[in-house]
Amino acid sequence: MTDTGIFLVFDGGEGCGKSTQAKLLRERLEQIGRSVLLVRDPGTTRIGELIRAILLNPDHSEMSMRCEMLLYMSARAQMMAESILPSLQAGKIVISDRFVSSTLSYQLGGEDLTADDIRDVARIALRGRWPDLTVILDMPVERSIARVTRAKDRIEQRPIAYHEQVRQNFLSQARHDPERYRVIQADRDLQLVQDEIWRLVESKISGDEGF
């Protein structure tokens, strides 16, 4: 079946505002009559939510980085099969709150995992359907972490130095793939960030390759 949809991802460090901006974008797209599916990674499906609970539980401190990476990919494989691919084939716009770009930032280097290792597994999980645009919401780590006011999950509890490296990994992805990534400064007024995202997405859905 032909894939006529558009696949968008919001990603970035903890507390960067991606979930808020993903919801605002869905609302704005629906206001102009577009059919939208908003998913969260990991999660969305029944199996994905079970995997999410395992991944984020602070009690699972013994989890190896390779196990962590594979669990994330397993949740994505189910979400692709059950939610994302059928929606893209139906011509919908799919917005994902996190995706493989997170694994290429959070698990990269752990137990010597390389970007090629991660992408090789991702190709299987995604069936080769990569996002059309990944928006990285960037801001200083100290400020983004301070925004997380609830009890921190297993990943969020890691040291500041780890999250600093995660931030650099996100920025590196954008530098190396400017066709599919855009970095937006998230440490600004909510409306300013939303408007910049909208300009990007509007160009994308209109078919303007100069977005």
The count of C-alpha atoms lying within 13 angstroms of the C-alpha of 17, restricted to the half-sphere facing its C-beta, is 22
Scanning the structure block, which residue is given the tokens 């597994």? 121
Instruction: Measure the CA–CA gap between 147 and 158, rounded to whole angstroms.
Output: 15
Angle between the N-to-C axes of helices 65-79 and 46-56, in degrees from 0 to 180, rounded to the nearest 10: 160
* pLDDT for 211: 45
Comparing CA positions, the residue from 101, 104, 136 lying closest to residue 21 is: 136
For the 6-205 domain, the top CATH level (class) is: alpha beta
* pLDDT for 146: 87
133: enclosing H helix or E strand: strand 133-138
Q: How is the chain split into domains, by residue range?
A: 6-205
Q: From first to last of the 211 residues of the chain, give the pLDDT tens digit.
A: 789 999 999 999 999 999 999 999 999 999 999 999 999 999 999 999 999 999 999 999 999 999 999 999 999 999 999 999 999 999 999 999 999 999 999 999 999 999 999 999 999 999 999 999 999 999 999 998 888 878 899 999 999 999 999 999 999 999 999 999 999 999 999 999 999 999 999 998 887 554 4
* pLDDT for 148: 86
Q: Which amino acid is at 101?
A: S
Cis amide leading into 42 (omega within 30): yes
Contact criterion met (CB below 8 Å) for 113 and 69: yes
Q: What is the pTM of this model?
A: 0.94
Output the CA–CA distances (angstroms, integers) from residue 141 to 49, 74, 86, 123, 193, in the order listed. 27, 28, 36, 30, 18
* pLDDT for 149: 79
